[in-house]
Amino acid sequence: MTTTTYLVIAVVALFFLVIFQISKAAEYVSVLKGEEQSRKQTNKVNAFLMLGFMILGLFGVWYCNHLLYHKTLLPLESASVQGERVDSMLWVTIMITGSVFIITQILLFWFAFRYQEKENRKVFFFPHSNKLEVLWTVVPAITLTILIIIGLRNWFYFTGDAPDNAMKIEITGRQFGWIFRYPGKDKTFGKKYYKLIDDADNSLGLIWKDNAAMNLKDDPATHDDIITESTVYVVKNKPVKLIIGSRDVIHDVGIAQFRLKMDAVPGIPTTMWFTPKFTTKEMQEKTGNPNFQYEISCDQMCGNGHYSMRGVIEVVTQEEYDMWMIKQKPKYFAAFPDKDPANKKDSTVTATAVTPK
C-alpha cells in the first residue's frame, strides 16, 4: 500500500470521528435544552429538507435528462420499422408514468412539509372513503388497459410471422461469439446435428457427408450454405428473419438500434424479424459518428466473456449486398476442397500444378 492510501484512510477515519463527536454532542445539548424543544426544532429542519429535496430532486430529474438524453437512442428515430412502434409506445408510457411520477412525488413531499407537526394542529380523523378508493382503483385500471391494448397489438406484430419475402439468416451463439448462416442458392438451410460440430471445419455441425455411426445421410442442401462469423450483411428495407440458436449456453441476440432482442437457447430455436430502415453508412451520417456500427450485443449472461460477445450487422443496399454475396464461398468447399469447382478447373488446366493447401 502506498502512503496516499494510508493518508486517505486517515482522513476518512478522522471525518467519521468528527461526525460521531458532533452527533454525541448534539444529543447532550438536546438533553440539556429540553428534549421536546429540540425535537421540535429538528422536526422543522427535516420538514424543510423534505421540501428542499423535492425541489432539488425535480430539478435534478430535468438536469439528468439534459445531460444524458442525447446519449440514449431516443433522439434518433429507430433504425427498424418495428422499433418505431416500440418508440411510440415508449413515449405514451413515458407521458403517463411521468405525469404520475411528478404528481405523486410532489404530493408526497408537499404533504410531508405542509403537515409537519404544529402545536395546535388538529389532525383529520379520516380512516377511509369509499369514493376515493374506488376512484384510484378504477382510474389506474383504465389507464393500464389502454397500455395493455397498445402493447399487445405491437407484441403480436413483433412475434407474428415474418413477411414471405423476408431474408432468412440463421444466427448461432457460442462462447463467446456469433456464427451466421445463409441458406445459399437453394434457399434452404441444410440439416445439422450438434454431434458433428467440430471447430476446425464444421462449426455448426452441418450434415454434409454420410455418417453410418450416427445414422445420418448427407444433406445436399448444406452444400451451398454460406457461413460467416461476427459480421452479417442484410439489405436496407428488406425484412430479415433471424433463426436463433445456441451451441452451448443461453445467449441473447440484442440489437439496440432496432429495439429488439431474443434469447438463443440451446436445443430450442427461436426467431425474430425486423426491417432495417437505414444502411450503416446512412447511420454513420445521421449519428455523426464515423465509427457507428449496428452491434449485436449478447444480452444474457453466458460466462466470463459475456461482455465481449459482439457481432456486427452491416446494413447495405441491394447492390452492395449482391456484390458481397458473390464473393462468398459455401463452407462446404472449405471442408472438401476437392469438391470446389474452382479447384477442379484449376487442376484440369495444369495437371501438374501443385494445388496450395
Site for another protein in 20-79 (CB under 8 A): 20, 22-24, 26-27, 30-31, 39, 42-43, 46-47, 49-50, 53, 57, 60-61, 64-65, 68-69, 71-74
- Report H helices in 255-340: 280-287, 318-327, 331-335
Distance CA 336, CA 356 (A): 14
Is 163 in a helix, a strand, or coil? coil
End-to-end CA distance of the chain: 56
Nearer to another protein, 30 or 343 (CB): 30
From CA 147, how far away is CA 95, in angstroms rounded?
A: 11
Sign of CA dihedral 213, 214, 219, 223: negative
Least distance between another protein and beta carbon 345 (Å) = 35
Tell me 216's DSSP state.
Answer: B
The stretch among 85-93, 323-331, 334-342, 343-351 that binds another protein (CB under 8 A) is: 85-93
Minimum CB distance to another protein smaller for 190 or for 224: 190
Selection from another protein, Cu ion, none that 66 binds (CB < 5 to 8 A by kind) is none
Q: Is 22 exposed, middle or buried (0-12, 13-18, 19+ CB in 10 A)?
A: exposed
Which residue's CB is nearer to another protein, number 297 or number 343? 297
Residue 89 binding result from another protein, Cu ion, none, given CB thresholds of 5 to 8 Å by partner type: another protein
Cell of 44: 422543522
Q: Is 355 in the site for another protein (CB under 8 A)?
A: no
Question: Hey, is 172 helix, strand or coil?
Answer: strand
Binding mask 221-260 for another protein (x = CB under 8 A): --------------------------xxxx-x-x-xx-xx
Alpha-carbon distance 262 to 260, whole Å? Answer: 7
285 binding another protein? (CB under 8 A): no
Q: What residues numbered 122-181 form the site for another protein, per CB under 8 A?
A: 122-129, 132-133, 136-137, 140-141, 144, 147-148, 150-152, 154-156, 158-160, 174-175
Q: Kindly identify the residues of this chain, within the stretch 298-317, that bind Cu ion according to CB under 5 A.
A: 298, 302, 306, 309
Taking CB under 8 A as the criterion, the residue among 295, 318, 323, 355 binding another protein is 295
CB of 156 to another protein, least distance (A): 6
Among 131, 215, 267, 348, binds another protein (CB under 8 A): 267
- For 90, the grid coordinates are 415508449
Distance CA 322, CA 104 (A): 56
- Binding of Cu ion at residue 171 (CB under 5 A)? no
**Whole-angstrom Cα distance, residue 193 to residue 195?**
6
Distance of CA 98 to the CA centre of its chain: 22
Binding residue (CB under 8 A) for another protein from 3, 165, 215, 304: 304
SS3 279: coil
Which residue ranges make up the site for Cu ion (CB under 5 A)? 251, 298, 302, 306, 309
